[in-house]
Amino acid sequence: MATFVIQGRFSAQAVKGLVAKPEDRTRTVSKLIAACGGKLKDYYMTTGEYDFLIIAEAPDGEDAVTAALAAAASGSVSKLTTNRAWTARDFKKIAARAKGVVDAYRAPG
The domains of the chain are located at 2-104
Model pLDDT for residues 24-50, shown as the tens digit of each residue: 999 999 999 999 999 999 999 999 999
Half-sphere exposure of 47 (CA within 13 A, CB side): 0
Write down the pLDDT at residue 4.
97
Radius of gyration of the chain (CA): 17
Q: Does the domain formed by 2-104 have CATH 3.10.20.30?
A: no
pLDDT of 10 reads 97
Q: Give the closest residue to 3 by CA, choosing from 85, 103, 66, 65.
A: 85
8 A C-beta contact, residue 36 and residue 63: yes
- Residue 42: partners with Cβ closer than 8 Å, 6 or more residues away: 53, 54, 55
Is 43 in contact with 1 (CB distance < 8 Å)? no
- d(CA 108, CA 50) in angstroms, rounded, equals 36
53-94 pLDDT per residue, tens: 999 999 988 999 999 999 999 999 999 999 999 999 999 999
| pLDDT for residue 34 | 97
